[in-house]
Amino acid sequence: MQTIAQILSAELEKKEEHVQNVITLLDEGNTVPFIARYRKEMHGTMDDQTIRTLADRLQYLRNLEARRQEVKKSIDGQGKLTEELANAIDEATTLAEVEDLYRPYKQKRRTRATVAKEKGLEPLAEILFAQGEGCPRPLEEAEKYIDEEKGVKTAEEALAGASDIIAEKISDDAEIRKRVRELYLRWADLVSVAAKKDPEDTVYRNYYSFVAQVDKVQGHQVLAVNRGEREEVLKVSVEINRDVALEPIVRSVLKKPVCAATQFVRSAAEDAYDRLIAPSVQREIRSLLTEEANEGAIGQFALNLKPLLMQPPVKGFVTMGLDPGYRMGCKVAVVDGTGKVLDTTVVYPTYGEKQKKECIEKLAFLIKKHKVKHIAIGNGTASRETEQMTVELIGQFRGEVSYVIVNEAGASVYSASELAAKEFPEFDVNLRSAVSIARRLQDPLAELVKIDPKSIGVGQYQHDMPQARLGEALDGVVEDCVNAVGVDVNTASAPLLTRVAGLNAGTASNIVKYREENGSFTTRKQILKVPKLGAKAFEQCAGFLRVPESKNVLDNTSVHPESYEAAEKLLDLCGYTLADVKAGKLKDLNDRLSAYGKERAAAACGVGVPTLTDVVGELLKPGRDPREDLPAPLLRSDVLEIKDLLPGMELRGTVRNVIDFGAFVDIGVHQDGLVHISQICNKFIRHPSEVLSVGDVVTVWVKEVDEKKKRISLTMRKEKLNEKK
């Protein structure tokens, strides 16, 4: 039997040695970001996502092994564990296979078969099921089992009981179930129809008569029919040709030559399929499809969340945040370049022309007073009207002020949270959300970490997902993003620090409390003085915490303290000093390193080549923010309306969401347009995420517009648009 490390090595196509090292590192309590960044020599430079996948599969395989042992122990306790059965359980590769093998030995609730056994009909079932030469006629043999005291009044009743016993025996056969399941996975269809005879026109109209082969159905289709079924709009089933599904069962249980009991056993086999196997396997298939669809959707959610969190910050500018609304008005907050609140107010641009004019005057005054450079507008209710008002407003400033539509998902959740109340006790709940929107433009990552990632809304059907699994996956993405960017230990909020590898809510709060009581940290080593932050936690977090105020420039890089000596040795080998690093005088570092020899230098410094490469990157750009390499947000100064759109019109837009069948792009008309997967590029792609990410700034052309239904169809393939014309 393969070891877990061997199985994972084959699945991930990684060296067994590297896989075993990761398993050991995880078992020792090391975090994924720490392993990915600072133990590259041990795992062959796996990225954080691969390590998380390994960790997930490791947990599954360990659970599988634990269940194998439980099942074997239970069967052995019944005195029924044979060597053959034990081997079959050990070789089972899924929990479903283990449960199939355990089924005949599992404690069952009272069934028709158990009732028949209580009536003494098991011997009759065994005789008839044996078939072959000399098999008696079922009715004649059944007459021997008539026993009114046991409740068997006729031969027909005896046969019915024997049939129930045989049907359950067939249903409990692990090999039969496996074959039937495989047939379903290959040939069955997922079918949905309207629950009512004359259904209304709903979002489920495409599924009123829907058929898709189980092995080809898309995840978003599975989730759609599941939701439609829950809302009692759809009826959903898994269907297969009955004869096809029966074939492996009949082939397994009918013996040659044909005898008097053959037809009886065949009828029992059909009953086993219709009553016991088919409903069970169909539930399994639905469950499997849902599980796979959930995993796919969670994976896509995580894929979309990462670029949203990693959007380049627009730092250093005074920013005005607008949280649009109708009844409660538009909440306004002005924050300085560091996110400190300078001013707040509420205006009412949707109440009429007079109020709109007053709103523009009031906001223009705030812009002049605080020298506002950018305006961030939440994309929720009334954002359309607020955007139009903003365009009129910034027209007065002749290009000196621009605006951006910001995803406000979760802003209301944050503003009503205990964290927001603690951060802004003097502000109304509604004004807090305006502050959050402004800060989201300045530093999306620092602001969005304060919100439950499930509330950010960059996926599909997120409320239908297993919430614990979704939360775990998204928390992993947030953790990876925070640690990839690094955190200034002297300015970071407690929620941001909590996401740093090795820290938790308690140690993060202690860091904030320590700097409030003792002033800013001046070295990384000083972090060890924080109460309840021990050596292990320091090892995990130190490389991700930056101390810009430190005299040692390495404290403001992602070089881990354990590699400081190696970094200094490298500088010495190449004729540099730490002062040169701070002054940015390492232009020839790579040339000098190449001349010396990278492997030779790594050996001299006592580190591996991957670590040396990372150290060089940090020395060349100390304090570098990886988000600077990504496309900047699209700043606007005008606005379109959906009625202004014409087929063929070229526009620039920002990708807001990537889903299975395409991507939604904000083109400045409040209503996002859809680029179908077939319109993304000229080559075949299996998923839009192969080409697009949330936050990408793209050029699109208007394909079709349905103003009544507020639907905009876009294309990124200009030549196809021209062909259509």
Helix H, strand E, coil C: the string for 634-689 is CCECCCCCHHHCCCCCEEEEEEEEEECCEEEEECCCCCCEEEEHHHCCCCCCCCHH
* Strand 697-706 relative to strand 234-239, pairing: unpaired
591: closest CA among 574, 568, 608? 574
- C-alpha–C-alpha distance, residues 199 and 725, integer Å: 37
The domain spans of the chain are: 4-105, 321-474, 518-629, 642-724
Sign of CA dihedral 5, 6, 9, 12: negative
Fold agreement (4-105, 642-724): no
- Judged by DSSP in three states, 374 sits in strand
Provide the β-strand partners of residue 699: 652
Residues of the chain with pLDDT under 50: 724-725
Cite the DSSP H helix spans in 174-320: 174-187, 219-230, 242-253, 262-271, 278-309
CB 437 within 8 A of CB 386: no
Residue closest to 180 by CA, chosen among 96, 83, 89? 96
3-class secondary-structure state, position 607? coil
Q: Which CATH class is domain 642-724?
A: mainly beta
Question: 84-98 pLDDT, tens per residue?
Answer: 999 999 999 999 999
Contacts for 169 with CB less than 8 Å, ≥ 6 apart: 104, 113, 125, 129
Q: Rounded CA gap, 658 and 460, in Å?
A: 9
pTM: 0.80
pLDDT (0 to 100) of residue 424: 86
The conformation of residue 45, written as its DSSP 8-state character, comes to: S
- Asked if the 518-629 domain carries CATH number 3.40.50.150, the reply is no
Do 125 and 158 touch, CB atoms closer than 8 A?
Answer: no
559 three-state secondary structure: coil
- Specify the 3-state DSSP secondary structure of 713: strand
Q: Which CATH architecture has domain 4-105?
A: Orthogonal Bundle (1.10)
44 by Cβ neighbours in 10 Å (0-12 / 13-18 / 19+) ranks as middle
Res 725: pLDDT: 45
Residue type, 83: E
Check if the beta carbon of residue 115 is closer than 8 Å to that of residue 161.
Answer: yes
pLDDT, residue 229, reads 96
Three-class DSSP category at 210: strand
CA 68 – CA 54 distance, rounded (Å):
21
Closest to 716 (Cα-Cα) out of 667, 668, 669: 667
DSSP states of 404-440 = EEE--TTHHHHHTSHHHHHH-TTS-HHHHHHHHHHHH
Two structure tokens written together for 616: 């060089």
AA letter at 665: V
Provide the residue type at 592 as one letter: R
Crossing angle of helices 278-309 and 219-230, rounded to 10°: 110
Asked if CATH classification 3.90.1150.10 holds for the domain at 321-474, the reply, yes or no, is no
Picking from 632, 637, 705, 639, the residue whose alpha carbon sits closest to that of residue 674 is 705
Q: Which residues contact 202 (CB under 8 A, 6 or more apart)?
A: 233
Please name the residue that has the structure tokens 């090999």.
175
